A = this chain, B = another copy of it.
Amino acid sequence: MFMRVLLCAALAAVTLPAQPAANPANTLISPEVGADRKVTFRLYAPKAAEVSVRGEWMEANLSLTKAENGVWSATTGPVEPGVYSYAFTVDGVSAPDPRQGFIKSGNRGPQSAIEIPGEAADFMMIKDAPHGAVSEHWYLSKAVNRMRRVHVYTPPAYDAAKKTRYPVLYLLHGSGDTDREWSDFGRANIILDTLINSGKAKPMIVVMTDGHVADINDPAQRSKNTALYGEDLTGSVMPLVEARYRIDARRERRALAGLSMGGGQTLNVGLKNLDKFSQLGVFSMGVAAAAQETFLKDHAAVLDDAGATNKKLKLFWIACGDKDFLFASATNLHQLLEKKGITHKWTVSSGGHTWINWRLYLRDFAPLLF
């Protein structure tokens, strides 16, 4: 805190008395990304017994080595171009990097984040191009009588096109996330800007809701989360955004998609509200064998009338990575839908249950909408 305050004074060009010799805690660079896409992590931790780091692209923690000045370090890579979360583990406790401010917020505490530039990640990179805006709103959720937050993306031309009404994608995050993640860490806004600017996707509004409606610390409430989410979405979020934004409110122009927990919400809320949604996207989620019976029962009306359902569902897009721990569940969902004759697009990607895949899924899914 004190060093921050010293820095503050220095930045404001106010001269202060001479400072003590530079402490590596206040001068070291971390992370450092080389031109070869190798990454060096550094942490000042003279009292720690064990320090490791884990990036979202890694399969295990990487141990750091301690130098005499108390700075631990390790180099890894080259890392594929992209945006990733990472965190140190210090004597068993997760700690973000204290030397930089790019983070993934997270529903259960923040992690650090890192950007590795490169052509493969160009679609998610923030560059000089027409950009939309992302806005935050607070609203009273009737489902839980509590103030909640929602993020809304408007496309680049929104402000200028004063009368145009836009189709809307409701885009849901996973259990480790907040309503900020899709834009702030997932780069949904930048991905949409890129797609819209190049004519690959239609201009649309994207509403990024908060999927944790029930109290996350109350196991009894938590089992009701999906039902509460449906109530919150249709009873509070949709009226709010349809009043504040120029949304084309026809069901043909309304889609719902989500990842992991949000994929489950898409499936369960979406299939129960086909009068409201014509297009669904399920990322890295499915139906476990043990939950199959409940799923078939809950959605019997929709699943047992393939003819009517296929007329309503213009797009039913399901994607999962072949190393995802939910791959069996996702495959099971695909097979159940096949048996029932429900038209859907089933995409198997490489990789696991990570944001690396979810950005790619959004990039591939959004052009199919509207």
Contact = CB atoms under 8 A, between A and B. Distances in A.
A101 B91 contact: no
Interface string A149-180: 00000000001000000000000001110100
A73 interface: no
Q: How many copies does the complex hold?
A: 2
Nearest to A94: B98
Interface in A65-111: 88, 90-101, 103, 105-110
Contacts of A268: 12-13
Contacts of A133: 135-137, 244
Interface in A210-244: 211, 217, 222-223, 225-226, 244
B244 A159 contact: yes
Interface stretch (A47-55, A116-124, A341-349): A47-55
B91 A49 contact: yes
Given A147-B126, A175-B8, A226-B11, A101 B105 contact: yes
Interface in A1-23: 1, 4-5, 7-17
Interface in A275-312: 285-288, 290-291, 294
A39 interface: no
Contacts of A97: 109
A109 B91 CA distance: 19
Given A90-B90, A93-B93, 7 more contacts: A9-B261, A12-B263, A45-B92, A95-B96, A100-B109, A133-B135, A133-B137
Interface string A337-363: 000000000000000010000000000
The 3 closest A-B pairs by CB, nearest first: A12-B264, A8-B175, A47-B92
A369 interface: no
A326 interface: yes
Given A13-B264, A16-B288, A131-B137, A48 B93 contact: yes
A147 B127 contact: yes
B105 A109 contact: no
A194 interface: no
A178 B90 CA distance: 26
B91 A353 contact: no
A195 to B, nearest CB: 16
9 contacts: A14-B285, A15-B291, A45-B92, A46-B92, A47-B93, A90-B93, A90-B95, A98-B109, A101-B106
Interface in A175-218: 175-176, 178, 183, 190, 211, 217
B264 A14 contact: yes
A1 B108 CA distance: 11
B95 A95 contact: yes
Contacts of A11: 175, 211, 222, 225-226, 261, 264
